[in-house]
Amino acid sequence: MKSQLWILLIPAVLLVGCVKSSTKPPTGSLVTEFRLTDAAGNTTETFSLGEDIFFEFTITNETGEEQEWVSEHNLPATYFTIHAGDLMLGASYDRFPLGSTSLQGVLPPDDEMITIAGWLDHSRHAPLAVGTYKAFAILNYEFDDLKPFKQWELDFEIVPPREHTTEIFALYRMPTYSFSFSPIALYYLSIIEFDGKYVLSGTVAQDGSMLTMACPPPTWTDPCFHQLQFDDVYLSSAEVEQLEAILDSFPEEEHLIDPVCDPNLISRYHLNGRIEEINPCASGSEQYWQAVEDIENFLAGFVPEF
């Protein structure tokens, strides 16, 4: 018999000392395993651009007797996060629940407790850009032999959808905690180059509260919006030259954040592998903000109306 916990995805956790992806001690212990899978359930650490990423963390009771567990909060057994360097890109839920509703239970002998989540389960998440990442599984429940906030890690990578292709640019929007919905034409975008051609693909965000479709599952901070995929666009040679000129003009700078300012939306650019966060509350030179404006104006011309 297997007990399963299904959860959604979003950010923020205190990371403490790591262990590798699985812990398989001799029989007589709680055995843990953390793995990443594709949509078919196959274990993998390489995903194609646009492919969903599934997290799975399993606790197997091989002690031969019942194991009691407790949690201070009404949360899933495991919390998942993804990091690119020092940046946390998203996680399995926002924050601790309001109030303090605790949980407790028993894991029978030879039984498993499984927590599963998909990166694209959450309305805010978009496909990850091409590159290397770390995934973390952080335990919420306390057993006699397992303490909460212990974490496991796995390295994985996102690769172009076909051989001899390169992702030139990617854009991700990141709504903040103060985010209230206003029309956003563009939410996610990727430009890849193959066979000398540049192909643009992405999504737009639409206010779900004004549509007939249901809103995504609510959390405390999520606005009601939907990502809608638009058809791929092939850039002309003139558009390719314009894009490359804008990216070449984008300066590398150190930025200071205004602690009083409360940003509504942060954008993240992936510029040929370099990540640049565009925070409206950050300092920046005139050249920097001009490059941001040029990129946004250039991309806006490719977004269709729905």
Domains and CATH numbers, the chain: 2-159 (2.60.40.10), 165-300 (no CATH)
Chain segment 187-241, per-residue pLDDT in tens: 889 998 888 889 998 888 776 555 444 555 544 445 566 778 888 899 999 999 9
- Whole-number average pLDDT of the chain: 80
Write down the pLDDT at residue 33. 95
Write down the pLDDT at residue 9. 36
For residues 248-258, average pLDDT: 91
229: its two tokens: 């995929």
Chain segment 173-189, per-residue pLDDT in tens: 877 766 665 666 788 89
- Phi and psi (nearest 5°) for 9? -130, 145
The pTM (predicted TM-score) of the whole model is 0.71
What DSSP line would sit under 156-187, residue for residue? EEEE-SSTTEEEEEEEEEEE-TT-----EEEE
DSSP conformation class of 209: G
Chain segment 113-127, per-residue pLDDT in tens: 999 988 887 767 788
Q: Which residues are CB-neighbours of 280 under 8 A, at least 6 positions away? A: 261, 263, 264, 265, 266
Q: What percent of the chain has pLDDT over 70?
A: 78
